[in-house]
Amino acid sequence: MQRISLDYIKMASLTLAIAFCAPANAQDSDREQMVDMVLQIQALQDEVRELRGMIEEQQHLIDTLQRRQRDQYLDLDQRIGELASARPPSLSANPTMPATAATPPPEDLPEVREEVNRPSVVTGLPAPDAEARPAAQSPAAEKAMYDQAFQALKELRYADAAEGFQAFLDQYPESEYADNAQYWLGESYYVTRNYEIALEAFQTLLDDYPQSLKVPDSLLKVGYTHYELKQWDLARAALTQVQEQYPDTTVARLAENRLRSMRVEGHF
């Protein structure tokens, strides 16, 4: 408000100076035109000021929507991962099933005992199998470690997220969450502008997990990362590949938007 008031005072002073400093022989119409010109300039300045305010409000709204979209996207990925890892519960694991429901009917007990006590069956069991899977490799521990890294990403603790996803990949390289972890590792580096490391992470996903659902997103981010590194030819090639391989998808539209920006900026 203080700055606006000062602007008005300065403009009013300028208007009066022009009006009173005009030649004495100047006609009143000339003076009115000069004053009107100054007032028009003032009106234009007011419009520019209002437009700047609107732009700032729109930018704030865009930033808010982008954060909300990112949070929803991360939450969606988490839910998809949970659904993918879901397994049909056994009778013994069902909390609503009585404990006696898992016991075979009485008439089946003799057959079960006879089958288990057969020497041929006992000698054919792989004895070292129980010792081959350490406790740390349990599905629960695996999922908990992934969730911990993903939670850090949702909370914008990118350094912790990157460290967590890398540790997860080191410990569970064959996990069903490995491709997701590889992708979010790249995202953790991308948002912190560590573009070289991010590019390596996204490219690793494309090379090691070609069947992953994250491949389209990773290819798009490869294009984005080359763009940030000012590697225009590589960026254009990756973004064009996204359009060709995944037409009529969100990633294709995002790729087209970035290619359009490159044309406007003269990088195409």
Quick: pLDDT tens for 182-230. Answer: 999 999 999 999 999 999 999 999 999 999 999 999 999 999 999 999 9
User: Are 153 and 191 part of one and the same domain?
Assistant: yes
* pLDDT of 235 above 80: yes
- The encoded tokens of residue 63 equal 């930033």
Residue 58 domain flag? no
Residue 83 domain flag? no
Q: What is the distance between the alpha carbons of residues 95 and 183, in angstroms, rounded to a whole number?
A: 36
Q: What is the distance between the alpha carbons of residues 96 and 87, in angstroms, rounded to a whole number?
A: 17
Q: What is the distance between the alpha carbons of residues 42 and 53, in angstroms, rounded to a whole number?
A: 17
User: Are 194 and 220 part of one and the same domain?
Assistant: no
**CB within 8 A of 75, min separation 6: which ones?**
154
pLDDT of residue 5: 46
Show the domain range for 187. Answer: 141-202
Residue 39 domain flag? yes
pLDDT, one tens digit per residue, over 131-149 is: 444 445 689 999 999 999 9
CATH number of the domain bearing residue 162: 1.25.40.10
Stretch 98-126: mean pLDDT, rounded?
A: 41
User: Are 198 and 225 part of one and the same domain?
Assistant: no
